[in-house]
Amino acid sequence: MILAILAFIIGLVYGYVKPGKEKRWELFKKGIVYGVILGIIFGLIGFFFGGLLLFVAGAIGIFINVVFLVVVFIAGTFIGDILEVAIKK
C-alpha cells in the first residue's frame, strides 16, 4: 500500500512539474516492458531457489504489481496535469 501511495505522489509531482500534457500511453508501454523484465528477473531468482512453481508465481506476481503501480502513477500524472492548469492559470 505504501508503494502505491508513493507511486501516486511521484506521479502527481511529475504531472505538475513537467510542462504540458504527459504521453500516458507511452508511460504505460514503458511500464509493461519494465514489468516483463522485472518479472523474468525475479522469476528466475525464484526458479533457482524454489523451483518452477515459484518461478511462475514470482514472474506473474511481479508483472501484475508493476503494472498496477504504473496505472497508479499515470493516475497521479493526470491529476498533476489538472493541478498544473488550475494553479498556473
Taking only the tens place, the pLDDT of each residue in 44-54 is 888 888 777 77
> What is the extent of the structural domain holding 26?
2-88
pLDDT tens-digit profile of 39-81? 888 888 888 887 777 778 888 888 888 889 899 999 999 999 8
- Tell me, what DSSP letter sits at residue 51? -
pLDDT tens-digit profile of 6-32? 889 998 998 888 887 778 888 888 888
Q: Is 85 helix (H, G, I), strand (E, B) or coil?
A: helix
Please return the burial class of 27, using the count of CB atoms within 10 Å of its CB with bins 0-12, 13-18 and 19+. middle
| pTM of this prediction exceeds 0.85 | no
Count of domains for the chain: 1
Residue written as grid cell 528466475 = 44
